[in-house]
Amino acid sequence: MIPAHWRPHRREEDGEVLGYLRPEGGGHVPVTPFGHPVAGPVPEAEARAALDALGLSYLAGPWLLTLPGREEPVTVRIVEVTPERMRVANADYGYEEADIGHVFVLDVPEPGRLRAA
């Protein structure tokens, strides 16, 4: 669950949550809706600008998910993100333990098992 002290940053045009401002060291770390840091810590205006520049583009790219007992991460695509959880789908043809499209459910904020590919 997104901590209550993280402030949401919304897109001006439609109010869509682009991410959160996580207070840290006198500044703010801009994070995606699932808690992945974008930059920072930086002043609030810079944190907001970083989230505006990123928009929702993180949804389009592949991500790497570290799984317990597996040395190599698995390529996944983001399917859904809510303040409580996120769902990512297997997109790794080399991962034989689950079919393509198999959905993994992760806690939010995601604790560091997911990184951009």
Split the chain (117 residues) into runs of 10 and give each run's mean pLDDT.
Answer: 94 93 95 92 96 91 93 95 95 92 95 90
pTM: 0.87
Do residues 31 and 71 share a domain? no
Residue 105 resides in a domain: yes
Cα–Cα dist 45/47, whole Å:
5
Do residues 45 and 69 share a domain? no
Structure-token match 């991962």, residue found = 95
Do residues 81 and 103 share a domain? yes
User: What is the dihedral sign for C-alpha 106, 111, 116, 117?
Assistant: negative
Do residues 73 and 107 share a domain? yes
Task: Look at the chain and report how many structural domains it folds into.
Answer: 2
